Chain A
Amino acid sequence: DGGITQSPKYLFRKEGQNVTLSCEQNLNHDAMYWYRQDPGQGLRLIYYSQIVNDFQKGDIAEGYSVSREKKESFPLTVTSAQKNPTAFYLCASSPYTGGTDTQYFGPGTRLTVL
């Protein structure tokens, strides 16, 4: 089955630690995205990538880093510089034809800082 997988589903981090969230897709999509969701809020864009080895900051990139070494994978690292990292993190992908493509979402990772 084609889709997007995120792991782990739940993640606990101690203050001062970096953690990496995994996102993998087998849809052969060019573009991938990371969003953050807080209670009662919409989704906010952290980073996006339109092609391998290239990525751009979104609206709230501070304290996060990404890599795009393979088309299928777009891991997100939450660094100790992120002041309030507890949130639900969603990865998405889209075909990216240069237009307004539909984005498809993974099941999410819930990060809690202890």
Chain B
Amino acid sequence: GDSVTQMEGPVTLSEEAFLTINCTYTATGYPSLFWYVQYPGEGLQLLLKATKADDKGSNKGFEATYRKETTSFHLEKGSVQVSDSAVYFCALSNSGYALNFGKGTSLLVTP
């Protein structure tokens, strides 16, 4: 079945450092891929999405490119801020009715 694997955290970075959170997937067909962010005690917010190969999703300085040849959707940001501290979830949708989530990667950015 479909699945998502993302790097385990926690990831600790200093402010203004470069961020990469790896995400790979297994799926048949042509899934849509998502990154969601969860701040402490809150629900999930959509960060970005890509619906076909080579699409790049971007939002708030975060980017991720849908790479079908490597089945990956890595999240990147050039310069993180303390306010980016959160848990990040990679997810895929391949059926129109449910999202398959990775286990989440906790990011802590220190001043």
Instruction: Pick the contact of B96: A6, A56, A99 (CB < 8 A).
Output: A99
Of the listed stretches B60-68, B77-85, B101-109, name the one at the interface; the rest are far from the partner chain: B101-109
CA–CA, A50 and B104, complex, Å: 26
Report, nearest first, the 10 A-B pairs whose CB atoms are least far apart.
A42-B101, A100-B32, A100-B93, A105-B43, A105-B44, A107-B43, A42-B103, A43-B101, A108-B43, A45-B98
Which residues on B are within 8 Å of A, measured CB to CB? 4, 31-32, 34, 36, 41-46, 49, 51, 89, 93-99, 101-104
Chain B contacts for A31, CB-based, 8 A: 97
Chain A contacts for B89, CB-based, 8 A: 42-43
Interface membership of A2, Cβ < 8 A: no
Which residues on A are within 8 Å of B, measured CB to CB? 4, 6, 31, 33, 40-43, 45, 48, 50, 56, 58, 90, 92, 96-108, 110
Chain A contacts for B103, CB-based, 8 A: 40-42
Say whether B42 contacts A102, CB under 8 Å: no
Chain A contacts for B102, CB-based, 8 A: 42
CA–CA, A42 and B35, complex, Å: 13
Instruction: Pick the contact of A98: B43, B46, B96 (CB < 8 A).
Output: B96
Chain B contacts for A103, CB-based, 8 A: 46, 93, 99
CA–CA, A104 and B96, complex, Å: 14
Say whether A96 contacts B96, CB under 8 Å: yes
Known: A45-B98, A108-B43. 14 other contacts (CB 8 A): A41-B104, A42-B101, A42-B103, A43-B44, A90-B43, A97-B96, A100-B31, A100-B32, A100-B95, A102-B34, A102-B49, A105-B36, A106-B43, A108-B42
